[in-house]
Amino acid sequence: MTRRVKAGYLRPLDFKHGVIDMNHGAGGRIAAQLVHELFSAAFDNTYLNQGNDGALLPLPPGDRLVIATDAHVVSPIFFPGGDIGSLAVYGTVNDVAMLGARPLYLSAAFILEEGFPLATLRRVVHSMAGASRRCGVPVVTGDTKVVERGKGDGVFITTTGVGVVPLARDIGGANARAGDVVLLSGSIGEHGVAVLSQRASMEFGTAIVSDSAPLHELVQRLLAAVPEGAVRVLRDPTRGGLATTLNEIAQQSGVGMMLQESAIVVLAEVAGACEMLGLDPMYIANEGKLVAIVAPEWADAALAAMRADPLGGSAARIGLVCTDAHGFVQMTTCLGGRRVVDWLSGEPLPRIC
Amino acid sequence: MTRRVKAGYLRPLDFKHGVIDMNHGAGGRIAAQLVHELFSAAFDNTYLNQGNDGALLPLPPGDRLVIATDAHVVSPIFFPGGDIGSLAVYGTVNDVAMLGARPLYLSAAFILEEGFPLATLRRVVHSMAGASRRCGVPVVTGDTKVVERGKGDGVFITTTGVGVVPLARDIGGANARAGDVVLLSGSIGEHGVAVLSQRASMEFGTAIVSDSAPLHELVQRLLAAVPEGAVRVLRDPTRGGLATTLNEIAQQSGVGMMLQESAIVVLAEVAGACEMLGLDPMYIANEGKLVAIVAPEWADAALAAMRADPLGGSAARIGLVCTDAHGFVQMTTCLGGRRVVDWLSGEPLPRIC
């Protein structure tokens, strides 16, 4: 994708009626035209415009590097509140941010299916370019491949994010300690329910929109509000939902957790849709929420910082980390009982991101 | 993929008879098991084992960063001389190396089709892990998604490579100047012909094996042999072949090229297969060759350095860069004539990498 070469001799791409054909992935003049007239035009930035098979980039000195990657196969590709293009940007920006890093650059690799309408591809790429600008993280290099009809599904997008993190910062899933406080940046389940609502097999009317959003500024705000070391873990509860994310952290850190069901916000429409579908919102993917596990003495300051961010307005303290050799996550229910919150199992929710 | 969590409670994966199902992409315990028992075990390294959604990595100070990405959709996934796993490593390592950078880290994102045999996936992942060790470039983070049967094609692998390059180094497609010498590291066309020979539609007996190989050590050897600035351009002629690669460079640099057909090595079996298939080896993909455009006074030293490398034994001087406002690449043929070497057009060779 990065070879930004003017195609020459060819008529401009027909974004109204044209479709992807095998030539668009074959590396010749027609492939160069797609890169030039769509990708380079939309993502336009100094680095991408270098026109080589990789991008040469400045790097702030003295830091460590963070790399995160995600393949995006969400179906359908458009859903209330987002699409595969913006999701591919935010999802990876968020993974970089969850290590306390500042995201700097993105790469993007497209796998297109023969016959995919150019108009749809343009809509996705423009959404992606808008998301990249919103984040301040440019797409600096990329690739495009085409597979035969029936060997793909419209478009898959793999993004890789690179960021930097100060040497002193140590945030990761293995750092939770007994006594730490579990914070959640907002309500759960919107992304998964928004995508499911568009599936042909289960289309249902709902006002729910995906929470898909970039969390790196919320993270920077949170980290600025407390001393280095106070934030032990950051993670965005995507596939598998909040329940699975907390179980992963419990296992990595060798601790247990005790949650308060009443503190976990679920919008009424999400709760209703989940009841109808027989799903538990605790297992539904989010794309604009994060869990922060924080030293107890800094929990209030951290919560206040999260709430001051537009994406953390309904942030809440949802539980405590406790000693538990088995790594169980438990929850005090609204009815006063107690139950184990297990990993996702049973019915999977495929292609949610 | 990076959440390296012991699955627990589950029977070990059945690598003999098992297949990928939608659960392997759903983010729950079964997905964690696939990561733990296959990916983490095969790619085993400190960074991947951090178990977060991204990897935290040391960085040599004072350098610039290079990022390159490639989606790999080669079909069939196994071919003489390689497979999609090793290709996904070498292809991206080579793209990083072509900017004169030292490749440091790789990410890998897998898009798997429901029903894909675990035994085949294991073979691919082990090949990939072997390639990564051969290069000394670890896979530090990753992702796995699963799509329904008929919405993918076994396995697609997107790799992103990150490397560093000294501040003073300036190698790129726009740097060729009239008078520079065009060097080619070896014979052309093997990769494309090796893959095509395995296609059900055109299966033919051949002893040709893909040239798929990592070129970063050859690049380091070449760069060490000449002063900084002597190597203007490095590029690996993959999709579109040598002809398209040289046209891209000519266009980026605003120069022409004059090649000597007699200097371009094509193995007899490749020439034979191409004749049979009606293809020109100049347009066939390579995966272990590079073009180096070098200042004339350093061409001999550069050629000697390339020939001293195991992957550059048949390196040759194949032409000269010349002044040409139209960016034409021309060739003096073996018969003494002269022809324009155009970009790839006409019959595409899809899914060659």
The enclosing domain of A270 has a CATH number of 3.90.650.10
pTM score of the predicted model: 0.96
Does any domain span residue B349? no
Q: Does B46 touch chain A (CB under 8 A)?
A: no
CATH code where residue A107 lies: 3.30.1330.10
SS3 at position B320: strand
What residue type is A129 in one-letter code?
Answer: A
Of all residues in chain A, the one with the smallest CA distance to B101 is A56
Would you state the structure tokens that stand for residue B335, as one six-digit string? 């018969």
For residues A239 and A268, state if they share a domain. yes
* Of residues A146, A161, A172, nearest to B350 (C-beta): A146
Task: Select the residue of B5, B31, B283 nearest A252 (Cβ to Cβ).
Answer: B5
Give the torsion sign (CA, B6, B9, B14, B19): negative
Task: With beta carbons less than 8 A apart as the criterion, state whether B65 and A59 touch.
Answer: yes
Best residue in B53, B84, B145, B170 to probe A by mutation, most A CBs within 10 Å?
A: B53
Nearest to B56 among A64, A109, A158 (CB): A64
What DSSP element (H or E) covers B196?
helix B190-196
B106 closest CA partner among A89, A259, A67: A67
Domain count, chain A: 2
Out of B135, B166, B197, a domain closes at: B166
Q: Do A27 and B240 touch (CB under 8 A)?
A: yes
Please report whether residue B160 resides in a domain: yes
CA distance A94 to A107: 14
pLDDT at B200: 64
Residues A211 and A335 in one domain: yes
Residues 6+ apart with CB under 8 A from B288: B90, B94, B186, B190, B191, B210, B211, B212, B213, B214, B215, B311
Give pLDDT, residue A7: 46
A 58-77 residues with CB < 8 A to B: 58-59, 61-73, 75
Taking alpha carbons only, the member of A289, A337, A3, A67 closest to residue B65 is: A67
CA distance B197 to A231: 56
| B53 has a chain A CB within 8 A of its CB | yes
Please check whether residues A82 and A119 belong to one and the same domain.
yes
Listed in sequence order, the residues at least 6 apart from A93 whose beta carbon sits closer than 8 Å to its beta carbon are A103, A106, A135, A137, A161, A214, A215, A216
Tell whether B340 is within 8 A of chain A (Cβ): no
pLDDT tens per residue, range B313-333 = 999 999 999 999 899 999 999
In a domain, B174, yes or no: no
Nearest of A353, A46, A37, A318 to residue A184 by alpha carbon: A318
* CA of B334 vs chain A CAs: smallest distance (Å): 25
The full length of chain B comes to: 353
Q: Contact, A86 vs A106, CB < 8 A?
A: no
Distance from C-alpha of A333 to C-alpha of A336, rounded to nearest angstrom: 5
Residue A31 distance to chain B (closest CA, Å): 10
* Residue with the larger pLDDT of the pair B265 and A350: B265
**Segments forming the whole domain that contains residue B334:** 181-340
| Closest residue to A343, CB basis, from B28, B145, B158 | B28
- What pLDDT digit, counting tens, does each position of B192-224 carry? 999 998 886 666 767 899 999 999 999 999 999
A324 and A191 assigned to the same domain? yes
Answer whether B74's CB lies under 8 Å from B195's CB.
yes
Residues B32 and B145 in one domain: yes
pLDDT band at A117 (very low <50, low <70, confident <90, very high): very high
Of B22, B59, B75, the CB nearest to A64: B59
Cα→Cα distances B135→A342, B89, B105, B245, B309, Å: 40, 8, 10, 24, 15
Q: Are residues A333 and A190 in the same domain?
A: yes
Residues 6+ positions from A86 with CB-CB distance below 8 Å: A127, A128, A130, A131, A212
Least confident of A54-68, A305-319, B105-119: A54-68
Distance from CA of A336 to the nearest CA of B (A): 27
Encoded tokens for B293: 């455009």
Please give the pLDDT value at position A343: 86
Mutate to test the interface with B, among A22, A24, A66, A67 (most CBs of B within 10 A): A67
Digit-coded pLDDT (tens) for A48-58? 999 899 999 99
Note which residues in 303-322 of chain A have CB less than 8 A from chain B: none
